[in-house]
Amino acid sequence: MPLESVDISKTASAATIIFDALKKAIIEGEIEEGAPLRQDEIARMFNTSRIPVREAILRLEEHGLVRSQRYKGAVVSSLSSTEASEIFDFRAVLEPHVIHHAVPRMTRETLAQARGFCEAFHRETDPMQWGDLNRQFHATLYDASGLTYHLEAIDGALNRIDRYLRAQLVLSRGMSRANDEHMQIQEACERGDADKAAELTRQHILGARDSLILHLSSITG
């Protein structure tokens, strides 16, 4: 399993460390969908007992990243086109509301930080970095809203689909389109146009949804 071994035998937050490591590996596609999460193997890698491993896997299951299968135990969840579409539709309702609420509260520092992520995303040539920069750009703009519960819901939705979004970005025109749309959202925020920022965000999400569904349909036949 492609995880770096860590000695956490004397660490009180062993379950959290294991959870974070597994979550990162699943989201970034290092552990593929359908792959089993063997508790004994993970416990050996982190030099701990199975108890924190079991707790970490239960937390992953609560986040929708893992599911239990009879006779196989915990495996990394897969995502159907229907489920992906539902998550994107949810985001297309929630995220425009959040950014509309955020725009009047954005400071110069917030806008400068978001533009930095936007430009870094445009310059980046390593596909492995695109997903992180994409999330950092949007999260920086959304954080100004102060809508903590909404932000947690968005984060959970993104965790569920992040590894598929990363695949979508390397599709034909995936990056160039995202670059253009990010800049349009950024400029609307800088103008203080909350209505335009919200509509652009909605279109951005629905466009990504359509590209991803097409991609999922092509690989599932």
What are the tens digits of pLDDT across the range 132-148? 899 999 999 999 999 99
Amino acid 28 reads E
- In this prediction, residue 221 carries a pLDDT of 52
- Phi, psi angles (nearest 5°) of residue 133: -65, -35
Residues 129-186: pLDDT tens digits? 888 899 999 999 999 999 999 999 999 999 888 877 777 676 646 788 899 999 999 9
- Tell whether the model's pLDDT for residue 11 goes beyond 90: no
Does CATH number 1.10.10.10 belong to domain 14-76? yes
pTM of the prediction? 0.77
What residue segments make up the domains of the chain, in order of their start? 14-76, 81-220
Q: How many CB atoms lie within 10 A of CB 50?
A: 13
- In this prediction, residue 1 carries a pLDDT of 65
| 198 confidence band (pLDDT: 50, 70, 90) | very high
- In this prediction, residue 219 carries a pLDDT of 58
Among residues 169, 160, 107, 161, the alpha carbon closest in space to that of 133 is found at 169
Q: In this structure, which topology does domain 81-220 adopt according to CATH?
A: Four Helix Bundle (Hemerythrin (Met), subunit A) (1.20.120)
Among residues 182, 181, 178, 169, the alpha carbon closest in space to that of 212 is found at 169
Whether 192 and 103 have beta carbons less than 8 Å apart is answered as yes
